[in-house]
Amino acid sequence: MAIRPILTVPNPILKQVSKPVKEVTDETRALMDDMLETMYAAPGIGLAAVQIGVPLNVIVMDLAREEEDPKPKYFVNPEILEVDEDFVPYEEGCLSVPDVFDTVDRPKRCQITYLDYNGERVTEWAEGLYAVCIQHEMDHLKGIVFLDHLSRLKRARAIKKVQKNEKLKAAG
C-alpha cells in the first residue's frame, strides 16, 4: 500500500469523466488499498480514484466515528438507481478543495448498486451522511466537484483560496 498525492482544484484531471472498471482484479484491489491509505492519511471520509489521478469508477469511504473501529467501504462502478424527492442541506468539504466548506442540497436518500472489494454486487439504500458522501464521490466520477453546485462567485473564491494555500505549502 502507498499514499498517493491528492490532486486539488483547478487541476483539469478532476474534470475528467471516469471510466467503468471491466472486472474487479488484484490490480483494482491494490488501487483501492492505496486509495484507502491515502484517504486515512489525509484524513478524509471518502475518496474517488480520479482524485489521485486515476480516472476509473472506483470510490473508497469510511464513515466510522473516531472512537469506532474502521469500517472501510469500497465501490466499483457505482450507479444511482433511485433518489428521494426530499433534499437536505449538508456542509460539505473535499480533499481536492482543502479548507473550504460549504452547504450543498442533495436528495436525502438514494438507492445505489455497485461491486464491492471482492467484485460482489451490492444494492442498497444510502441515507444520512452515507447518502451525502456517496453522491459527492459519484459526482467526482462525472468530473464534478462540490464547488460546481455553488455560485460562480463562491467557486472562484474557493479555487483562489486553494491555489494560495498550495503556493504557501510549496514555499514551505
Q: Active-site residues: which are they?
A: 137
Residue (94 or 138) nearer to Zn ion, CB: 94
Q: Would you count residue 61 as binding Zn ion (CB under 5 A)?
A: no
What's the closest the beta carbon of residue 171 comes to Zn ion, in angstroms?
A: 25
- C-alpha grid cell, residue 19: 471510466
Residue in the shown chain whose Cβ atom is closest to Zn ion: 94
CA distances to 60, 61, 62, 144 from 72, rounded to whole Å, are: 7, 6, 5, 23
Residue (94 or 100) nearer to Zn ion, CB: 94
b/e string for 11-32 if b means 16 or more Cβ within 10 A?
A: eeebeeebeebeebeeebeebb
The rounded distance, in Å, linking the Cα atoms of 93 and 147 is: 9
Residue (13 or 120) nearer to Zn ion, CB: 13
21-40 footprint of Zn ion as x/- string (CB under 5 A): --------------------
Say how far residue 53 (Cα) sits from the centre of its chain.
Answer: 13
What's the closest the beta carbon of residue 44 comes to Zn ion, in angstroms?
A: 8
Residue (24 or 141) nearer to Zn ion, CB: 141
The rounded distance, in Å, linking the Cα atoms of 33 and 48 is: 12
The rounded distance, in Å, linking the Cα atoms of 91 and 115 is: 28
77-116 footprint of Zn ion as x/- string (CB under 5 A): -----------------x----------------------
What's the closest the beta carbon of residue 70 comes to Zn ion, in angstroms?
A: 20
Spatial CA neighbour of 100 closest among 159, 22, 34: 159
Which residues form the interface with Zn ion (CB under 5 A)?
A: 94
